[in-house]
Structure 1
Amino acid sequence: MVTEQVPGVRSAAVGVFCQVGSRDETPGLGGASHFLEHLLFKGTPTRSAMDVSAAFDEVGGEFNAYTAREYTCYHARVLDEDLPMALDVLGDMMTSSLVTADDVEAEREVILDEIAMHDDDPDDVVHNLFAATAWAGTPLARPIAGTAESITALTRTQINRYYRGRYTAERMVLAVAGSVDHDEVVERATKAFAGRGFLDRDVEPAGPRLAERPRPVRGGEARVARPFEQVSVVLGMRGLTRSDPRRHLLSVLNNALGGGPSSRLFQEVRERRGLAYSVYSFGLGYSDAGMVGVSAGCLPGKADELLRVVREQLALVAADGLAEEEVSRGKGQSRGGLVLSLEDTGARMTRLGEAMLFQPRLLSIDEVLGRIDAVTPGQVHDLARELYTRTPTLALVGPATP
């Protein structure tokens, strides 16, 4: 349990971070983590699904969940006086959800609709194709929501066994930020999570997921013909893990290269040549894997030129680095983005939870700002040369070409 007292606010954000996600599924359980996320809202022995929803609606609170590749998070944001209720409901859901056969069948249809919705989104399709290509043969290659085939095949017994086996105390972090008192949170959470003997076992926390070096990435090219209006492109290569000490340096590089309207890619691709409406660089980090790259969308006739310019700019940054003023803007974006995002108690809660899951220790905000301020153009050049000269992976989705 980790908390942060935020002066001057009247809200409290709480999240339960379960160290289980889509990469923890066997091939026969594809989409089980996301399926289970849906089902934990459906009721417990003492609360119906309506009771769970009404508890937050009647106090004007926010309540939701999401599934990622390495964890699942259930989160809420309420007035500080309503935090005991939020903890009680979350504890009940985490420890005592029913996962009934009727609910499994009802949610199965909802999730199939969700998969179909994502399949109509070019950005989702191309990024799923990119992951499937870059990490082919590993759990990271599979879509988080599963496939229509895997969701159709999952049984109530499989999902319930997954729930009981994976949602254990040693794999969970409770993070709370806002107008809170740590000792009070510990006391109330201990009671809230006491259902079904959840806290009876004397176990040590699983600890953060860490790795010495990122796993290999498979290079190559993958194209899928779809009747979209645009061609969606993702070009990337192996990057940094979540815990790599250079992740703050990568943030500066990423912002300067493709993080805003003044960035190198935006200026070269959109402003000077009009090749794309949207173009940006990205950095994905997991416990033992990472990717960096560029994502863009353009009209079919511009795809070849777009890729030529993107490859040219990556090669130039690798060879020559970025100008001092570009690095300065990248540092400013990293600093401002961090501080402005943490004006929200929900963002502070998420920062706490993710740090406990993936970092050797939680850095203070001042430490992070200090690391950003210390970045030099030479360091940015060294990292760009290391990353952008690696074997690339390319994914394209759009209209078929002759």
Structure 2
Amino acid sequence: IGVWVGVGSVDESPEQAGSTHYLEHLLFKGTSRRSALDISSAIESVGGDINAFTAKEYTCYYVRILDNDLPLAMDVVADMVTSSLVEPAEVDAERNVVLEEIAMRDDDPADAVHDLLAGQMWGDAPLGRSILGSVESITGMARDTVNDYYRQRYRPRNIVVAAAGNLEHDAVVKLVAEAFGVDGFLSGDDEPAAPRIGGIAPDVATGVALLQRPTEQANLLLGMPGLNRNDPRRFALGVLNAALGGGMSSRLFQEIRERRGLAYSVYSFAAQHAETGMFGVYVGCQPKRADEVLDLARSVLADVASSGITDDELASGKGQARGNLVLGMEDTSARMGRLAKAELVYDELPSIDELLTRIDAVTMDDVRELASSLLSAPPALAVVGPFDDATRFEAAIG
């Protein structure tokens, strides 16, 4: 089961940067009914798992548990989400944990480079800021800031409960009403918040962002504007992404790793949000190979932008998209997430057959037109590695 709250880092002001994620940590620290130990031991003592994650547009608290223990799980997670105390002592103690998480991110260049690229492309717009916040924002964040954010945002209108597994819908609805109805939480007549769709896309910048680190590997991330989450071309984007960098048979993998041995990790990705998106290419390589790898990656992108993909790549991309979709539904967590996102960010829940039909409907012209517009845009570049001067990379994206 998952309790999804329609609030993420994009909802924060600059002064609140990192508060959504900070709050996610704090909701595990105790309620009037349970201590932090009580929360974890209640689930773990029956063999379950409880955790949470924060994204740019939503937060999720989830439990994986035996079907017979569903009432327990629902009661525990509802108690956390609705009745956290956010005690001052816990806020101060957890501050250090969040700062450690920021340090861990900074120590992982393959992770840090993604935040670096978002900041380069979108600047101080909400999408450009890190979900974790900054050392400065977390260090200076008062208990009242986090608690006020909690009381304002964690309301019934912003919450979706999703569940998947051996269960009955009516029984789950009854459990939700009981678990969330404590202390009048469900009183009132608020309508559910509308799904997060559309909005004004932030301005996009190009250029180079460099984070100097004494690493043995250069971490390179090219990014360009992508599609928003509900763009009808997203199915063509899935096929294009598979052909470019979605696996070992993709163009980027074959050209950079298989034929030349220039990198171990190379892939492309599409990140999609309500108002805009990003298409990116990541490569990790020896620092002395960085210029050669960037030239090669740009060459592959330019070739696909001008000439499109082959018939074999179209067929393979569709097959990969179909397989990923169907095989993903074998996991109850994926099913649960699909249900929640249909309510929070899509406003539709097409059947698997409908989605397969949309994938099959993608044509060569669809992919060619998308590639021409998407891949010909001037890119931004984020680099984490042992380099002193960002200007050395400007020619690679010019």
Partner of 1:76: 63
Counterpart pick for 2:219 among 232, 237, 261: 232
Q: Which residue does the alignment assign to 1:128?
A: 115
- For structure 2, list consecutive stretches of 5 or more residues without a partner in the other structure: 390-398
**What SS is found at the alignment partner of 1:356?**
helix
TM-fit CA distance, 1:216: 3.5
- 65-74 vs 366-375, greater mean Cα deviation: 366-375
- Distance, in Å, in 2 between the alignment partners of 1:169 and 1:86 is 19
1:47 aligns with 2:43: no
**Distance in structure 2 (CA, Å) of the matches to 1:329 and 1:401:** 41
The alignment status of 1:118 with 2:139, answered yes or no, reads no
Q: 2:195 & 2:377 partners in 1: Cα distance?
A: 28
Correspondent of 1:293 among 272, 280, 283: 280
Match 2:251 to one of 256, 264, 267: 264
1:394: Cα distance to partner? Answer: 1.0
Q: Identify which of 382, 387, 390 aligns with 1:395.
A: 382
In structure 1, C-alpha distance between the alignment counterparts of 2:209 and 2:38, rounded to whole Å: 47
Mapped to 1, the partners of 2:287 and 2:311 lie a distance apart of: 35
SS at match of 1:275: coil
2:395: which partner in 1?
none
Contact 1:214 1:240 in 2 (8 A): no
Structure 1 residue aligned with 2:90, among 91, 100, 103? 103
Letter in 2 for 1:207: A
Deviation (angstroms), 1:78: 1.0
Supply the distance in 1 between the matched residues of 2:82 and 2:208 (Cα, whole angstroms). 44
Contact 1:234 / 1:294 at 8 angstroms: preserved in 2? yes
In the TM superposition, 1:1-400 aligns within 5 A as 14-211=1-198, 214-400=201-387
Give per-residue Cα distances to partners, 1:110-137, cap 9 Å, x unaligned: 1111111111000122111100010013
Change (3 A) 1:196 1:61: same
User: Do the aligned partners of 1:134 and 1:217 also contact (CA within 8 Å) in 2?
Assistant: yes
How far is 1:362 from its partner? Answer: 1.1
Question: Matched residues in 2 for 1:355 and 1:284: separation?
Answer: 17
SS in 2 for 1:312: helix
Q: Measure how far apart 1:89 and its partner are.
A: 0.8
Can you give the 5+ residue segments of structure 1 that lack an aligned partner in the other structure? 1-13
Cα RMSD for the two superposed structures: 1.2
- Deviation of 1:217 (Å): 1.8
Kindly, what percent of the aligned residue pairs are identical?
55
1:320 is matched by which residue type in structure 2?
A: S
| Alignment correspondent of 1:6 | none
Equivalents in 1 of 2:158, 2:128: separation in Å? 23
SS at match of 2:65: strand
Matched residue type, 1:373: D
Please say if residues 37 and 66 of structure 1, whose CA atoms lie closer than 8 Å, have aligned partners that are also in contact.
yes
Amino acid at match of 1:376: T
Q: Deviations over 1:36-66 (max 9, x none)?
A: 0001111111111111111111111111000
Instruction: Look up the equivalent residue of 1:193 and give its one-letter code.
Output: F
Structure 1 counterpart SS, 2:204: coil
1:35 and 1:212 map into 2 onto residues whose CA distance is 26
Shift of 1:391: 2.1
Residues of 1 paired with 2:287 and 2:315: CA distance? Answer: 35
Aligned partners of 1:196 and 1:160: how far apart in 2? Answer: 18
SS of the equivalent of 1:218 reads: coil
Paired amino acid for 2:291: D
Distance 1:293 1:165, change over 3 A: same
| Aligned-partner SS, 1:389 | coil
Q: Distance in 1 between matches of 2:14 and 2:364?
A: 44
- Following superposition, the deviation at residue 401 of structure 1 comes to 4.9
Q: How far 1:214 sits from its partner (Å)?
A: 4.3
Distance apart, 1:374 and its partner CA: 1.6
Contact (CA 8 Å) 1:214, 1:239: kept in 2 or not?
A: no
User: Is contact 1:216–1:238 with CA below 8 Å preserved after alignment?
Assistant: no
Contact persistence 1:61–1:76 (CA under 8 A): yes
Structure 1 stretches (4+) deviating beyond 4 angstroms?
none
Task: Quote the offset at 1:339 in angstroms.
Answer: 1.1
Measure, in 1, the Cα distance between the counterparts of 2:331 and 2:113: 31
Question: Partner of 1:158: helix, strand, or coil?
Answer: helix
Structure 2 SS opposite 1:177: coil
What is the letter of the counterpart of residue 256 of structure 1?
A
TM-score (norm 1): 0.95
Range moving further from structure 2, 137-146 or 304-313: 137-146
After superposition, the C-alpha distances for 1:226-278 in whole angstroms (9 at most, x for unaligned) are 11111111111110111112212211110111010000110001111111111
